[in-house]
Amino acid sequence: MFKLPRPAATALRVCALALCAVASSPSMAQEWPTKPVTLIVPFPPGGGNDIVARTINVKLHSLLGQNLIIDNHAGAGGNLALGATAKSPPDGYTIVIATSSIAVSPALYANLGYDPVKDFSPITLLVIAPTLLVVSPALPVKSLNELVALAKKHPGKLDYASAGTGSSAHMLAEDLAAQVPITRQRISHIFTCITGGSDADNAWSLSDGQMAVEIAGCPSP
């Protein structure tokens, strides 16, 4: 029976999200907030991060007395959103949902445009997010073992989608592929390449057979 190694198996069960903000400035000594706060979401509408943002928006509005302006700033596996947050005024009025890519991307990109340690102040652990491995209903498999067997039989024929290089889905797929002697091909949907592609976008492609496999987050606020 095929089994994922312990680190990968753990990653498939839990993916931590954090809510981060640019380091505070003296202006934060004033009463906060006195105006709407921008909440940057690193992926398009309809995905897990977007759902979390819109869920907490309702509660934060009642707690803070101000609206949160949700800005879906997708692209580059979440790095465009982090870069935009890092360049915003350090006044506490721009916050971002930071996924696991904030820890992974420094090892994958030469020029991020931000420092993941110096440019952000962590606020809280926001979500514990199990990650699901799902396949197209057209694929004749019912288990991970059957999927691996099919991939071995048809090397390079099973496409999968991720939210971009460095995203948890991308890293988990690479880890899975490294454990089995198969070649695989990463799908290049326009949404994935240009906007980062949400779980909702990928789910549509999965359901109509445009791709075979998706690794998707399933956050639980």
Q: Which of 103, 106, 109, 113 is nearest to 20 (CA)?
A: 103
CA distances, 76 to each of 42, 89, 111, 207 (Å): 9, 22, 12, 25
Do 7-128 and 130-217 agree at the fold level? yes
Q: Whole-model pTM above 0.75?
A: no
Of the candidates 58, 51, 40, the one whose C-alpha atom is nearest the C-alpha of residue 199 is 51
Indicate the fold that domain 7-128 takes in CATH: D-Maltodextrin-Binding Protein; domain 2 (3.40.190)
Mean pLDDT lowest among 33-37, 134-138, 187-191, 204-208: 187-191
108 exposure class (CB count in 10 Å sphere: 0-12, 13-18, 19+): middle
Helix, strand, or coil here: 122?
strand
DSSP 3-state of 135: strand
Segments making up each domain of the chain, as ranges: 7-128, 130-217
Q: What would the mean pLDDT of 93-112 be, rounded to a whole number?
A: 87
pLDDT at residue number 140: 92
- Which residue, chain included where needed, has tokens 């987050």? 217
Q: What is the pLDDT of residues 66-89, one digit of tens each?
A: 988 999 998 888 889 999 999 999
Domain 130-217 has CATH 3.40.50.300: no
pLDDT, residue 5, reads 42
